[in-house]
Amino acid sequence: MRRYSVFAIAREALRFHSGWEKAWRSPEPKKQYDVIIVGAGGHGLATAYYLGKNFGITNVAVIEKGWLGGGNTGRNTTIIRSNYLQDPSSAIFEKARALYETLSQDLNYNIMFSPRGLLMLAQTHHEVRGYKRTVHANQLQGVATEWVTPEQVKKLVPMINLHGPRYPVLGGQYQARGGTARHDAVAWGYARACSDMGMDIIQNCEVTAVRSANGVVTGVETTRGEIGCKKLGIVVAGHSGVLAEMAGFRLPIESIALQALVSEPIKPCIDIVVMANTVHGYISQSDKGELVIGGGTDGFNNYTQRGSFHHIEETLRALVETFPVISRLKMLRQWGGIVDMTGDRSPLISKTPLGNCFINCGWGTGGFKAIPGSGWAMAELVAKGEPGPLAAEFDMWRFKEGRFIDESVAAGVAH
């Protein structure tokens, strides 16, 4: 595949952009692959990419029931951070954040990584104690975060109201190299690089059954026929329970809709990502000028991928005290995605009861930021059949054995 560069843009400008190649091929599925990855979200595509890049395994198909990146990867609010409390979490999220720093160069695709800074507001004394604890933990883990005072918060976010009647801002946890990236571009960049390595990305192809014999997977049945494989990776986020059922095992996962919305575009007013976890809302500004706003999950398990009025009301009511400016804004669009939640709010990167079948899920409301690290760790698990150091603690049996990696106590929110 021809490299994207400033010279390529100049050349194409001179010939009316007639020479661009398609970013990825759309091949017919082959009868057999070494590895099939189900799910062409960021995590599935990143897994395929690092299988090729780190282990030289390229006879790979990524099978997607819709269009690539059309699941949660294309529906999230793009927050990237690694200020997690528990050691296994901060290790994998920091690996991902570090990979994001150079991902555009690595993929030769501009993913618009914007390390604009990430601020988590402390608005109760409980949060002050909790976030200071996380800052100390992060120092031990080698993750650069700091505690900031209300005055420093005001400098970072001039439009904030520090003295809300219910929840005044008491300080915050700040990660200067946290930020955002363009979510579609992350999926597109990985897809292009996978296709370039000879992998097949097969869209509009739903896996409807998993075939196995003698405790190992032999292939999958799909809406485009049966496809054989030597190894299977299931990376389908909110549909993980469905795929696991096809494969004959159960997962400690619940599927719940998470919604987000954007305002009408306005002039630049906030150049940082702010999360207000007590009231449960978070906010950043897109390149187009829209305020990107998210809140909590639905209060019941479901598979819907759409917005609802009460969420607009709840999320904006929560945020308006701290950001009075949004009371004057029209909201433009709202949507939902199906997130895959575990009890300890940490992911699964795990072997399964089937010998050659591996699962990556449970990223819940916060897996966009993890995509490169998760793909890296999952590729190692699939290639070697055993987890490497990044994935070692994230097996599914921890719920049976009580080895929780409890991030819900750390933030109560994971976006």
Ligand X SMILES: Cc1cc2nc3c(=O)[nH]c(=O)nc-3n(C[C@H](O)[C@H](O)[C@H](O)COP(=O)(O)OP(=O)(O)OC[C@H]3O[C@@H](n4cnc5c(N)ncnc54)[C@H](O)[C@@H]3O)c2cc1C
Residues that bind ligand X (CB under 6 A): 38-44, 63-66, 70-73, 75-79, 206-207, 235-237, 239, 243, 258-260, 294, 337, 339, 363, 365-369, 415
Q: Please name which of 173, 171, 179 lies closest in space to residue 100, comparing C-alpha atoms.
A: 179
Three-state secondary structure call for residue 102 = coil
Tell me whether residue 76 or residue 352 sits nearer to ligand X (CB atom).
76
Tell me whether residue 4 or residue 391 sits nearer to ligand X (CB atom).
391
Question: Angle, to 10 degrees, between the axis of helix 42-55 and the axis of helix 371-384?
Answer: 50
Question: Helix, strand, coil shares of the chain as percentages rounded to 5?
Answer: 30, 25, 40
Tell me whether residue 57 or residue 349 sits nearer to ligand X (CB atom).
349
Tell me whether residue 54 or residue 304 sits nearer to ligand X (CB atom).
304
Tell me whether residue 171 or residue 296 sits nearer to ligand X (CB atom).
296
Question: 292 to each of 259, 301, 345, how far by Cα in Å?
Answer: 11, 24, 23
Query: Residue 166 Cβ, how far from ligand X at the closest point, in Å?
Result: 24
Query: Residue 207 Cβ, how far from ligand X at the closest point, in Å?
Result: 4
Query: Residue 10 Cβ, how far from ligand X at the closest point, in Å?
Result: 34
- Would you state the structure tokens that stand for residue 24, as one six-digit string? 């990825």
Cα–Cα distance, 57 to 378 (Å, whole number): 13
Question: 37 to each of 3, 48, 177, 320, how far by Cα in Å?
Answer: 26, 7, 31, 42
Query: Residue 220 Cβ, how far from ligand X at the closest point, in Å?
Result: 8
Residue 380, amino acid: E
Euclidean distance between the first and the last CA atom of the chain, given in angstroms as a whole number: 35
Query: Residue 235 Cβ, how far from ligand X at the closest point, in Å?
Result: 6
DSSP single-letter state for residue 330: P
Query: Residue 5 Cβ, how far from ligand X at the closest point, in Å?
Result: 29
Tell me whether residue 72 or residue 322 sits nearer to ligand X (CB atom).
72
